[in-house]
Chain A
Amino acid sequence: MRNATEQDFDDIVMKNDKPVLVDFWAPWCAPCKALAPTLDELAEEYADEMEIVKVDIDANPKLAERFEVRGIPLLLIVKEGAETARAFGTMSRSRLDAFVDAHIGAE
């Protein structure tokens, strides 16, 4: 799982050949911390189909503004340089899997 910043976000996410799940988080956000192990596993599960990229909104406020992040954790799916879906708030592991499956799909 990579971390993206305001400097490299476009290269890592918008120009990525694979779909990208972007996790907007912050160090003080307990639900974000709770979500982290789930995302670690999801990254392995979907390694062939997509990439997961994390964005710390405290360190990268312009990205939070650009994507109108109103609350975290916020998950965004970006395909071919465009946002195709977003999910806000805590979500069960199974619901997250279903969300990714619906928008990315995996064998």
Chain B
Amino acid sequence: MADIAFHGDPAVKAQAQERLHRHVAAGTFVYFPAWENGNANVIGAVVEADDTPLYAQTLGYPVALAETLPKFVNDGFGEREDAAIFAEAWLARTPVGADLSRIVSQLVVELLDDVELVETIGVHPDLEHCRAEIVDLHRRALAGEMPDRKAWKALRLKAVAATDAVGDAPLDRQAGNVVEAAAWPGTMRTVLRDTLTARSSFGLTRALAEVGWTMEKEGQVFRIREKAEKDGYKAEFSGLERLLAILDADHPALAAGFRTRLERMGQSSEQCRAVAWRAIELMETAPIVASVPSPASVEA
């Protein structure tokens, strides 16, 4: 059964949960790679292979949702413990027999209807028109229609052209990238992952622009770090701590801006996390269309 959670079979769910939990408990649950030397990510732990389509097929998740799952985990949860909690909740809170076929388009529509995105796109009528039309196609698909391939393609090419016409401002172009990425049916394997990636880039650029963090400042920090590594400066520290120690000592104004940048990047991760939990909420409320008779009723 395509896109029916666990194919309606509680045993499929139980096995997936058991396999994942085994890796979490053993400390072999990792972000990357998917399946190597006994370590496994959210996909590999369940199917014991680096094979996302197999995960989707085995558990009944839409392939576009399965394709996005590692991104939810990797980008949304910086601590491995939190990532494991989410990964286990993903399986635990997906009801057996839930019809998951609408989830991808539902999430894509929510990403396209995002207030910040709509505000940025609003000043570019052609692009806004594309955004609205793409939302409409996804809504038609959610209502049970099957917009044909040509309709998606025409809209996609229109979105690419509209993005090219918005000029060179990074934020406008990134907003266009979100629209372009969403111009595929929910059955397309990478549509949700790509739309979320584009939305995250847009959100981060917008957040950094709001606090006045520019590419020049980013480059300046990069060069300071490179030079310190070469000269062995502040070598008593390591990683981010070292960089902050250098900035605090020699570039206090830049240090303050860099800390704000870090905060904003953290907030960007929060957005991804919010979409990840939202996916679970949608799965929890999806209609149940299949169930397997209990052993007692089979015997009867």
Q: Measuring CB to CB, which residues of chain A are less than 8 angstroms from any residue of chain B?
A: 37-38, 40-41, 45, 92-95, 97-98, 101, 106-107
Contact = CB atoms under 8 A, between A and B. Distances in A.
17 contacts: A37-B52, A37-B189, A37-B190, A38-B189, A41-B190, A45-B149, A93-B181, A93-B184, A93-B191, A94-B156, A95-B160, A95-B180, A97-B153, A97-B157, A98-B156, A98-B157, A101-B153
Interface in B4-23: none
Contacts, number: 42
Given A37-B67, A101-B157, A94 B190 contact: no
Binding site secondary structure of chain B: helix
A38 B156 contact: no
B: interface residue count bin = 20 to 34
Contact of A97 (B67, B156, B177, B189): B156
A37 to B, nearest CB: 5
B157 A92 contact: no
A94 B67 contact: no
Given A97-B153, A98-B160, A101-B157, A92 B189 contact: no
A106 B153 CA distance: 10
A13 B156 CA distance: 29
Given A94-B194, A97-B157, 7 more contacts: A37-B52, A37-B190, A38-B189, A92-B194, A93-B190, A95-B180, A107-B150
B183 A41 contact: no
B156 A41 contact: no
B188 interface: yes
